[in-house]
Amino acid sequence: MKWSVLYATGVTELDEQHKMLFKMSEDYRDALDQGHGERVCGVLLASLDQYARGRFGREEHCMYRYQCPAATMNSQAHREFTKALAEFSQRYAQDGFSRSDAQDLVQFIDGWLATHIVRVDLQLKPCVENERLGSRAPSIRDVTSATK
Ligand SMILES: [Fe+2]
């Protein structure tokens, strides 16, 4: 799957984050196709964990800052993603690499990208546009520093 403007939230920093996730999935799918899936599975899981820990919180702050109606749903979906990811990581740690599990992981990420961004994250877009019509839109840095 490739990122396109159809996935744009209107917040550059969040769109850049999403592009990273698309790239991770695409690279891993390529690695599986080329028979390198086992070699990079641990790296992918660690990268996804790091992504979820570092990026989800920033997006959640942004949604609350813009008073997005999907903010609570977004936080809940992020928790569910993190839980599912932890289950993949636990199986990998216990049983090692499994091609079918790796394919399930890629499908899980692609499903997340196709559904979560469109159904949840994109609800941020009109909120951002409304604020920009009214005043200078804060960057995600403003959002993050305001919540510390
Ligand atoms: Fe989200």
pLDDT digits (tens, 9 = 90+) for 19-52: 999 999 999 999 999 999 999 999 999 999 999 9
Assess contact for 18 and 117: CB atoms under 8 A. yes
Checking if the pLDDT of 139 tops 80, the result is no
In this prediction, residue 1 carries a pLDDT of 85
Ligand 1 centroid to Cα of residue 35, in Å, is 31
Range name among 2-16, 48-62, 89-103, 122-136 with the lowest pLDDT average: 122-136
Checking if the pLDDT of 142 tops 90, the result is no
Ligand 1 centroid to Cα of residue 59, in Å, is 6
Mean pLDDT across the chain: 91
d(CA 94, CA 11) in angstroms, rounded, equals 39
Residue with tokens 């790296």: 43
Ligand 1 centroid to Cα of residue 55, in Å, is 9
* Average pLDDT of the residues in 80-95: 97
* Average pLDDT of the residues in 62-74: 95
Checking if the pLDDT of 121 tops 90, the result is yes
Ligand 1 centroid to Cα of residue 82, in Å, is 12
Ligand 1 centroid to Cα of residue 141, in Å, is 17
Share in percent of the chain as helix, strand, coil (round to 5): 80, 0, 20
d(CA 45, CA 89) in angstroms, rounded, equals 6
Q: Domain 5-146 maps to which CATH number in 3.40.980.10, 3.40.50.2300, 3.30.830.10, 1.20.120.50?
A: 1.20.120.50
